[in-house]
Structure 1
Amino acid sequence: MTALSSSHASPSPDEESWRKNLNLPAKDNRYQTEDVTLTRGQEFEDYFLKRELLMGIFEKGFERPSPVQERAIPIILQNRNVLARAKNGTGKTAAFIIPCLEKTDPVKKHIQVLILIPTRELALQTSAVVRELGKHMKVECMVSTGGTSLKDDIMRLYKPVHVLVGTPGRILDLSEKGVAILTQCHTLIMDEADKLLSPEFEPLLEKLVLHCSPERQICLFSATFPVSVKKFKDKFIHHPYEINLMDDLTLKGITQFYAFVEERQKVHCLHTLFTKLEINQSVIFCNSVNRVELLAKKITELGYSCFYIHAKMQQSHRNRVFHEFRNGSTRHLVSSDLFTRGIDIQSVNVVINFDFPKTSETYLHRIGRAGRFGHLGLAINLITFDDRFNLYRIESELATEIKPIPPTIDRELYCK
């Protein structure tokens, strides 16, 4: 990377005219971190994208490509295989959706892009971004996940679908039934590839790849690439272009603290944090479904508005909770690790690990819910005596520092 693109820099004449024509307000990005501002100074216009796509990009509020978008968009447009490592919250989703939309021909009635996602909530969110960015393009996007009506999905596939977003099990089911025809699908995107290539999903993925066009392009995006990804890459992804923006693993804008407490003090400590911090929205993580529900009940009894979400809830209920939280109907959400992958709600500025996670990977994904797209955020960990070695190990594995919590936390660390 050769240049630091200052967030104070004047917009290009092209961008200025776009924003004026679309009647868009100027965005204040002065407080974004280098995770999204340390760019090469490229503009979206530099990629010669369709006018309708540029309209969607600027209406979405994107001004300039982030580092991962600068690196990925032109390479995916060249139909090359891609292996991209980038932090959560740095624009990964748009980095693959923008070139996929550019390459999609709405005149053709078949599935041209398949985007595989490990969780239902992230699939819904990704499909929403496809629709927002492609709103002027007449591109038909469909989302299909487990836990929803298979009959409805089958009926929808009788109509044209250009971009199919979904979870592997449901997509494979539709493909093997001969309903989702993937033989002309030229681009396969795997988001959160480390999770998709875990033992739970990998056999499904290998079958799905073979359902796609033999000339398929495969792009993997993830914050971490464990050994399982290398095995899949060696088998299916020939000569990938590798993007690595992971000099450090944790987002620069997230300040991390820990508080040593006894188990029985945790709820009181949480109450204190609620009263002392300026929380826009917070996600509070527990390690089990039972503890999620119990904690949500306790928080409600303390007089705070609070929702909860976990994998054992009915899908329709989960969708409703996610939608309501995203719309700001409540300030606090208690969650299991269901919610750690890719959920992009920029108003979340505080993440609290009520229960400290067991692995550095889980920790990384949890705290990535704050500080989305280069903004500031706070991660607070409630640590018991039994957690202390886990704390030291995760600090070491992520090469990060989790500091003792001070009596007063400067709002400048997480409120801009």
Structure 2
Amino acid sequence: MTESTPTSEFETLPLPAEQIDNLRAMGYTTMTAIQKLALPLALDGRDLIAQAKTGSGKTASFAIPLLTKINPRFFGVQGLVLCPTRELATQVATEIRKLARYLANIKVVVLSGGVSIGPQIGSLEHGAHIVVGTPGRLKDHLRKNTLDISQVHTLVLDEADRMLDMGFSDDIQHIIGHTPEDRQTLLFSATYPNNIQKLSAQYQQTPEIIKVESTHTSNSIDQRFILCDRHQRPAALERVLAHFNIQQAVVFCNTKQSTEEIAQQLTSLGFIARAINGDLEQRDRDAILTQFKQGSANFLVATDVAARGLDVDDLPAVINVEVPREIEVYTHRIGRTGRAGKEGIAITLLADSEDHKRKALNHQQDIEIPCIAIDELSRSEPVPVLPEFATLCIAAGRKHKMRPGDVLGALTAPGGIQGSQVGKIHVLDMVSYVAVARTAARQAVDVLNKGRVKGKTIKARKL
């Protein structure tokens, strides 16, 4: 007797059987709250304003309807997704490619700043079905006449509030002006301020407005305020790490200078800490984010914009060295922990002069967040535990036809390391990153540098 195939909530939608099978293979059987509300309307061709936070499953909410209208035989841009950062654009494109597996030869191109525009132009010359990009780089391509979006039937503005906060309003208007008026426009935003309403009024046709709560709840995140003077913040951070035994976290600061100072402090304590801010080159940002995602660094010290799009599985903690300038940003920050039913802790260092912010945050979270004075914390020193993995950088990526299987095969070839010593593998356009057991890192670098991948020698180094 054969086992029956599990039913899927997606079967209730007007989707091709091949997509239902693909979704099931991806583990998509139950719809998230935003998917239940957005998918029927979007599949019906309606314009949407969807208020949903990071981690709510919103990418599938717009990608699935977009893909149903793609004509694979026409290599013109039919779907356009705007994102605030390169990290988010890359993340969204990766998810779209997975959701598009049921269609043959669908090309998804990422157009974002921080990298050379030349290879992007070359890629566009061969056509693309879907473009995911940041406003500034999309505008560059339009100015150079290397991008034609006159045939776009689905326009998505992902994290629209952040794009407006980052000053992309004029660029967005310029880009939308190059798309057909009869397109479908799907607007996703974590918040719904006045500028979002104005944007919608200008570019959407009688949109449906839907809203879901974030996927984390206050009871899955243990929130604490640590009361200290401003000059005590470095000392308070060390005592927080020792008192709560935190070995991995995203540490948020409000300024670039603070990220550098805090990362240096954590490094001096013996942790592996990396700072990420707007001053970094894109390749360095990619390396740092990937290193943290692969579990090869204890702490990522970041500004809000630099951390946008960061999605880390099982992140145990978030630490706010400084209270965000905008109260709504607090929810974005702490929402990176306590996901999918897991427990997480969010700790915020709070000065006495910031009591008005404490009250505002309590009101926003609809709870009384416990306050602890710095003197109540343990006075012991934090004891660093180095991450199990180290990340290697390989000077070859997607553009060189590199695949995760090629990296794994090279590492585990005769004389190499064990497959159990290989962790996550991320293949980007020009480079690849692989996590290996820290104890085997030196051997892994030697194996890669002495070996060959697809008949070619490659260069590898430990980050």
Equivalent positions of 1:224-303 (< 5 A) are: 224-246=191-213, 253-277=220-244, 279=246, 281-303=248-270
Runs of at least 5 residues in structure 2 that lack an aligned partner in the other structure:
378-463
Name the residue aligned to 2:143: 176
Judged with a 3 Å threshold, the aligned counterparts in structure 2 of structure 1 residues 285 and 208 are, in CA distance, closer, same or farther, namely same
Name the residue aligned to 2:6: 15
Judged with a 3 Å threshold, the aligned counterparts in structure 2 of structure 1 residues 58 and 268 are, in CA distance, closer, same or farther, namely farther
Judged with a 3 Å threshold, the aligned counterparts in structure 2 of structure 1 residues 363 and 99 are, in CA distance, closer, same or farther, namely same
Judged with a 3 Å threshold, the aligned counterparts in structure 2 of structure 1 residues 372 and 92 are, in CA distance, closer, same or farther, namely farther
Q: What amino acid maps onto 2:194 in structure 1?
A: V
Equivalent positions of 1:106-121 (< 5 A) are: 106-121=72-87
The worse-fitting range, judged by mean Cα deviation, of 64-73 and 334-343 is 334-343
The alignment's TM-score, normalised by the length of structure 2, stands at: 0.74
Report the alpha carbon displacement of residue 157 of structure 1 after superposing the two structures with TM: 0.2
In structure 2, C-alpha distance between the alignment counterparts of 1:48 and 1:83, rounded to whole Å: 21
Equivalent positions of 1:159-238 (< 5 A) are: 159-198=126-165, 200-238=167-205
In structure 1, C-alpha distance between the alignment counterparts of 2:62 and 2:248, rounded to whole Å: 28
Q: What amino acid maps onto 2:179 in structure 1?
A: C
* Preserved CA contact (<8 Å) 2:82 2:156: yes
How many residues align? The count is 373
Match of 2:38 among 62, 72, 79: 72
Name the residue aligned to 2:59: 93
Runs of at least 5 residues in structure 1 that lack an aligned partner in the other structure:
1-11, 17-41, 409-416
* Preserved CA contact (<8 Å) 2:216 2:340: no
C-alpha RMSD over aligned residues: 2.6
Report the alpha carbon displacement of residue 186 of structure 1 after superposing the two structures with TM: 0.5
* Preserved CA contact (<8 Å) 1:360 1:398: no
In structure 2, C-alpha distance between the alignment counterparts of 1:358 and 1:93, rounded to whole Å: 28
Q: Does 1:344 align with 2:335?
A: no
Name the residue aligned to 2:362: 395
Report the alpha carbon displacement of residue 251 of structure 1 after superposing the two structures with TM: 5.7
Name the residue aligned to 1:147: 114
In structure 2, C-alpha distance between the alignment counterparts of 1:170 and 1:158, rounded to whole Å: 16
* Preserved CA contact (<8 Å) 1:53 1:102: no
The runs of 4+ residues in structure 1 deviating greater than 6 Å are 247-250
In structure 2, C-alpha distance between the alignment counterparts of 1:405 and 1:102, rounded to whole Å: 53
* Preserved CA contact (<8 Å) 2:9 2:31: yes
The worse-fitting range, judged by mean Cα deviation, of 179-188 and 100-109 is 100-109
In structure 1, C-alpha distance between the alignment counterparts of 2:69 and 2:296, rounded to whole Å: 37
Q: Which of structures 1 and 2 has the bigger CA Rg?
A: 2
Name the residue aligned to 2:28: 62
Report the alpha carbon displacement of residue 266 of structure 1 after superposing the two structures with TM: 2.7
Name the residue aligned to 1:130: 96
* Preserved CA contact (<8 Å) 1:193 1:225: no
* Preserved CA contact (<8 Å) 1:111 1:164: yes
Q: Does 1:309 align with 2:300?
A: no
In structure 2, C-alpha distance between the alignment counterparts of 1:249 and 1:351, rounded to whole Å: 14
Judged with a 3 Å threshold, the aligned counterparts in structure 2 of structure 1 residues 398 and 141 are, in CA distance, closer, same or farther, namely same
* Preserved CA contact (<8 Å) 1:52 1:134: no
The alignment's TM-score, normalised by the length of structure 1, stands at: 0.82
Judged with a 3 Å threshold, the aligned counterparts in structure 2 of structure 1 residues 191 and 247 are, in CA distance, closer, same or farther, namely closer
> What is the DSSP-based 3-state SS (H/G/I as helix, E as strand, rest coil) of the residue aligned with 2:305?
helix
Question: What percent of counterpart residues are identical?
Answer: 33
The worse-fitting range, judged by mean Cα deviation, of 288-297 and 125-134 is 125-134
Name the residue aligned to 1:19: none
The worse-fitting range, judged by mean Cα deviation, of 77-86 and 176-185 is 176-185
Q: Does 1:331 align with 2:298?
A: yes
